[in-house]
A and B are shown apart, each in its own frame.
Chain A
Amino acid sequence: MACVQFKNIVKKFKENLVLDGINLEIKDHEFVVIVGPSGCGKTTLLRMLAGLEEVTDGEIRIDNLLVNELHPSKRQIAMVFQDYALYPHMTVAENMSFSLRLKKVGRAEISARVKEAAQTLQLEKFLLRMPRQLSGGQRQRVAIGRAIVRKPKVFLFDEPLSNLDAKLREGMRVEIAKLYQRLNSTIIYVTHDQVEAMTLAGRIVVMNRGVIQQVGSPIEVYRKPENLFVAGFIGSPTMNFIAGRLSMSGGKAVFKGGDISINVPGFVLGGAEAIDGREVVLGIRPDDVLVGARSAEHCSEKLQATLEVCELLGHRENLYLQAGQTRLVATVEAFFNQSPGSAVPFCFNYANMHFFDKLTEKRIG
């Protein structure tokens, strides 16, 4: 297995800057998920690592070897494509053994490796079938099998589950997690699905507009987003944002935004300087908007909102609240027995409040 380094990577398509100075180091045996919205440059970065896109500027190293000009096949990587990219005129076994046949590996070894991969992915029954005779999930497993038989240094996954339906996606997600436990390889996985990122990653890289926004463990990215973009991108439903101003009153920080005014405990701002009069955005996840019994338990100062819509998700329920001019989403245990239009007292879980500078959009504290 291997470590991967991106140093000051720049990618331009004509005048269009797609990646702007990417610096990232991926350690041996690490499962890194690169996540971001469409067009953020995550797939381009992966394709550059695979050798399918040229590097405009910067260095890509695999195991300390500069690979910028190296042919894809010499980089000792294997890639699983979003659209499977199976060779339609070859059987499953031929697809899986294609790279080994090119390398002129012995027949016995090819057969053994294909069998082993097929066993891992439960594809033994389908080895003689053509790709068109397989379901979407089976095709994706063949694509993964094709990568496994090569025993590469680094596995690259380019949104491998995005073409599958929700149920199959869930199943395949577990399969990939199990596969990682078994292979313990270096895996770089690109997705726009934050659930995949949160569940699979050892480390998440959040990207937007060709720039890395944050690198961290799933819980770090979720609990301590470094900027407004990460805060809004990670988590579902999306974090609530309230624009307002901080002020100091009697030695205590107070946030005022719209009709909402709350005292902010000192630990939330973490000793940030020049707080008084600072324009900020308060971020609070729907889970941390406390209503009903939870608000009665935790809240010392309660705010008032009107319930607009209840969205039942099964075991959870999303409540859309209107507090003056501010619209909030709260996620509570099902069933919240109040009808739309009724008054709902609420408060915020102080421990999980986030403040961002309105101008720089960076985290405060």
Chain B
Amino acid sequence: MNKEAAVYRRKKIVKYLLIHLAIIAFVVVCVYPLLRILSVSMRPGDKLISTDLSLIPAGAAFDAYVRLLKETLFLRWLWNSLLITVATSFIGVSLASTAAYAFSRFRFAGKKGGLILLLSTQMIPAGMLILPLFLMIMKLGLMNTYLGMIIAYSVSSLPFSIWILKGYYDTIPRSLEEAALVDGTSQVGAFWRIILPLSTPALSIAFLFNFTTAWNEYLVARVVLFSSKQYTWTLGLFELQGQYITQWGMFAAGSMLVTIPVLIVFLYSSKWLISGLTLGSVKG
């Protein structure tokens, strides 16, 4: 019996070791490119193309960061991106949360068809949407404006957000809203006071999705924006790439800086991503 227990324990340890090795390998694969960019951003100007593998290069300095902030419109691009992204995320989540509620709770003609239609838009490659999007934004007179970008981004991530939120609303028992109705709220009140507070995990996911999609987007921005002052950071960084010379140091420094807002948003929203918030509300 003791021998069997020892074998079992050994097997368990080996299993844990293997799992942890796999996780560590995965983390290295994910983090290494980021560390290389950090390394490149800190290299002196004459050592940008180097085969040196050290993460903190000899003579490391923040010159590239200083130059990026002083010599380019990087802060302006960052501000543009932030403005467009935050507005997109809030508008996208607001629209999706109410639309998803209707899809989840009400019976109406075209409900099933509408949901399938929304899903099918996600199957069209983004590149194919560029031309119609360009024509629409041009006809609305919103070329080279924040509003044009916000509309384009909000609309494109709406279907996914609706599906995520609808799926989540479906898991919230209807009896909670019914209890709220009997207690004295309107349908909108029940949505606002009961459903939305309970949906923070799904709302956070939708917000993050909207945020990262808009933050990293390049193609639509390339088509809609044409003045350097209106550029988002994705277009701005691309400006650093010349025909003959690319400012790799500044490019890497910019790449590092743009991760900071995303990091902050992820860290902040992680506390809302608590599952099981509805635990205890109904018999489960």
Q: Known contacts A73-B184, A99-B183, A103-B184; is A87 also within 8 Å of B281 by CB?
A: yes
Task: Contacts A89-B198, A130-B280 given; indicate if A81 touches B181 (C-beta within 8 A).
Answer: no
Question: With an 8 A cutoff between CB atoms, is A347 at the interface?
Answer: no
Q: Does B278 contact A (CB under 8 A)?
A: yes
* Stretch of B98-106, B156-164, B170-178, B204-212 that contacts chain A: B170-178
- Interface residues in A63-103 by Cβ distance below 8 A to B read 71-73, 77-79, 81-89, 98-99, 102-103
Partner pick for B198 among A50, A85, A88, A163, CB 8 A cutoff:
A88
CB within 8 Å for A102 and B183 given contacts A88-B280, A131-B281, A134-B280: yes
**Given the complex, which residues of B lie within 8 Å of A132, measured CB to CB?**
279-281
Q: Which residue of A lies closest to B175 (CB)?
A: A85
A285 within 8 A of B: no
Report A-chain residues with C-beta under 8 Å of the C-beta of B280.
86, 88, 130-134, 139
Find residues 138-153 in chain B having any chain A CB closer than 8 Å to their own CB: none
Q: Which of B175, B181, B283 contacts A51 (CB 8 A)?
A: B181
Residues from chain A with Cβ under 8 Å of B279 in the complex: 88, 132
A94 to chain B, nearest CB (A): 11
Q: Tally inter-chain residue pairs, CB-CB below 8 A.
A: 86
Chain B residues within 8 Å of A133, by CB: 280
- Measured CB to CB, the nearest residue on chain A to B198 is A89
Residues 271-284 of B, flagged 1 when their CB comes within 8 A of A and 0 if not, give 00000011111110
| In the assembled complex, B245 has its CB within 8 A of some CB on chain A | no
- What distance in Å separates the Cβ of A201 from its nearest Cβ neighbour in chain B? 23
> Are A83 and B198 touching (Cβ within 8 A)?
no
Chain B interface size range: 20 to 34
Chain A residues with CB under 8 A of B194: 87
Q: Min CB distance, A137 to chain B, in Å?
A: 11
B176 and A87 within 8 A (CB): yes
Contact check, B181 vs A52: say whether CB atoms are below 8 A apart: yes
A232 located at the interface, meaning its Cβ lies under 8 Å from any Cβ of chain B in the complex: no
Min distance, Cβ A103 to any Cβ of chain B, angstroms: 6
CB distance from A145 to the nearest CB of B (A): 13
Task: Say whether B281 contacts A73, CB under 8 Å.
Answer: no
Residues on B with beta carbons closer than 8 Å to the beta carbon of A21: none
Q: What is the CA–CA distance of A98 and B283 in the complex, to the nearest angstrom?
A: 20
Q: Is B197 in the interface zone, CB < 8 Å from A? A: yes
Q: Which of B166-205 contact A (CB under 8 A)?
A: 173, 175-176, 178-186, 189, 194, 197-198
Q: Is the CB of B277 within 8 A of A89?
A: yes
B97 to chain A, nearest CB (A): 16
Nearest 9 pairs of A and B residues by beta carbon? A132-B280, A88-B281, A83-B282, A131-B280, A73-B184, A99-B183, A85-B175, A163-B283, A85-B179
Q: Could you list some 9 contacts between A and B, CB below 8 A? A: A50-B182, A52-B178, A52-B181, A78-B182, A79-B178, A87-B180, A87-B281, A130-B280, A139-B280
Interface on A for B, CB 8 Å cutoff? 50-52, 71-73, 77-79, 81-89, 98-99, 102-103, 130-134, 136, 139, 146, 150, 163
Q: A85-B175, A85-B179, A87-B180 are in contact. List 12 more A-B contacts (CB 8 A).
A: A71-B181, A73-B181, A81-B178, A81-B282, A82-B283, A83-B283, A85-B178, A86-B281, A86-B282, A130-B280, A132-B281, A163-B283
Q: Footprint of A on B, CB under 8 Å?
A: 173, 175-176, 178-186, 189, 194, 197-198, 277-283
